[in-house]
């Protein structure tokens, strides 16, 4: 007896099936179908701009997970950059064969499939948020246009903070369609959220579905209504079995997630490993066309009541593949969650308006 290998063989029309779950971003390019009959495997190149603690943790994780055939490192400090490149090259006998290039000029990124930007100005004590943003815009004016020129077909992944505003800046400066400009957003925040729930329930974090959305920062929104464990809705069960799960407790958990990075920075001086794994997971979903859903910073105009006229980037669950953002999930939010998301969008939009881009 023939066994069906897909729903289409059982009589279900597969055409456009995902459209009921995902919607394209405002100016995204249509997703291109992938071919299974590629005669020769094309080499994959990833460039990391910024060789600080975060950039090198990302490069090291990408290297050990064998996600690229070539990694290009770019930084303004030539001696440190050469030292970091040599340190990775000296491990060649223990790692997959990967070419590692480095340079202070964007030319080294030429023909990249994915460019990851971690470079950013650090806040000076007493400096205003606006002044920090303006210094980062000035830095991005030097980084993004040359990178876009050398790799006009690349995907651009922004990690520098404030990531949502800088993703907007990168989109404006690159001239790329919004579907190819992505911010790391709340991918790591959501991992921290899942970890806390998993620890509480004594399950593996991979079996927990839970999202932080909106700004990667103080106004991020915990989507309690959609939490599931092993495919089962979990929020009602948590509340029924734990009377302590009142509004104050939920806000405390949200703040613990938001403050997770600050705690790590306070203890070791910086964050690196978790963001390295987070970004590597995004790189794998993008370059291997895995169609996985990640909460990342995308052009959110028109979603959940956010004005079509507000070109604001914030995190929403998005399906990622070789074409970048292939669609954004149509979440079923409570009115309170949607209102919080719109407030988060308003804060980000006001910051973007101050940048004169």
Q: Which residues are catalytic?
A: 216
Would the annotation count 312 as a binding residue?
no
CA distance 25 to 147: 23
CA distance 116 to 51: 11
Would the annotation count 126 as a binding residue?
no
Would the annotation count 111 as a binding residue?
no
Would the annotation count 91 as a binding residue?
no
CB 219 within 8 A of CB 255: no
Would the annotation count 160 as a binding residue?
yes
CA distance 261 to 275: 10
Would the annotation count 75 as a binding residue?
yes
Interstrand relation of 324-329 and 313-321 (parallel, antiparallel or unpaired): antiparallel
Write out the two tokens for 3.
Answer: 């066994």
Would the annotation count 52 as a binding residue?
yes
Would the annotation count 159 as a binding residue?
yes
Question: Which residues of 237-312 form beta strands (DSSP E)?
Answer: 292-299
Tell me which residue of 165, 178, 110, 113 sits closest to 139, measured CA to CA: 165
Write out the two tokens for 110.
Answer: 């030429």
Helix (H, G, I), strand (E, B) or coil at 266: helix
Would the annotation count 198 as a binding residue?
no
Tell me which residue of 294, 272, 285, 74 sits closest to 184, measured CA to CA: 294
Binding-site sequence positions: 50-55, 75, 136, 159-161
Q: Which residues are annotated as a binding site for NAD(+)?
A: 50-55, 75, 136, 159-161
């Amino acid at each position: 007896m023939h066994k069906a290998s897909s729903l289409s063989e059982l009589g279900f029309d597969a055409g456009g099936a995902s459209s009921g779950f995902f919607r394209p971003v405002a100016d995204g390019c249509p997703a291109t179908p992938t071919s299974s009959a590629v005669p020769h495997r094309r080499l994959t190149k990833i460039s990391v701009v910024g060789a600080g603690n975060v950039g090198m943790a990302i490069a090291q994780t990408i290297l050990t997970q064998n996600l690229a055939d070539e990694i290009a490192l770019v930084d303004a400090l030539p001696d440190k950059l050469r030292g970091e490149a040599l340190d990775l090259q000296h491990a060649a006998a223990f790692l997959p064969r990967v070419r590692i290039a480095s340079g202070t000029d964007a030319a080294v990124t030429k023909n990249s499939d994915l460019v990851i930007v971690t470079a950013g100005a650090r806040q000076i004590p007493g400096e205003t948020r606006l002044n920090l943003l303006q210094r980062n815009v000035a830095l991005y004016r030097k980084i993004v246009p040359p990178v876009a020129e050398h790799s006009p077909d690349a995907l651009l992944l922004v990690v520098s903070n404030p990531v949502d505003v800088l993703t907007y800046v990168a989109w404006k400066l690159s001239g790329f369609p919004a579907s190819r400009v992505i911010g790391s957003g709340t991918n790591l925040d959501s991992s921290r959220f899942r970890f806390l729930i998993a620890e509480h329930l004594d399950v593996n974090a991979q079996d927990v579905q839970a999202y932080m959305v909106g700004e990667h920062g103080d106004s991020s929104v915990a989507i309690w209504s959609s939490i599931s464990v092993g495919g089962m809705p979990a929020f009602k069960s948590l509340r029924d079995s734990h009377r302590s799960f009142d509004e104050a407790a939920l806000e405390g958990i949200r703040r613990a997630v938001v403050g997770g990075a600050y705690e790590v920075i306070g203890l070791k001086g910086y964050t690196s490993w978790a963001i390295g794994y987070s970004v590597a997971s995004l790189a794998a979903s993008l370059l291997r066309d895995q169609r996985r859903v990640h909460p990342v910073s995308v052009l959110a105009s028109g979603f959940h009541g956010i004005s079509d006229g507000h070109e604001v980037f914030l995190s929403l669950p998005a399906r990622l593949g070789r074409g970048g953002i292939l669609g954004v999930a149509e979440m079923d939010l409570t009115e309170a969650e949607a209102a919080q998301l719109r407030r988060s969008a308003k804060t980000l939009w006001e910051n973007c308006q101050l940048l004169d881009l």
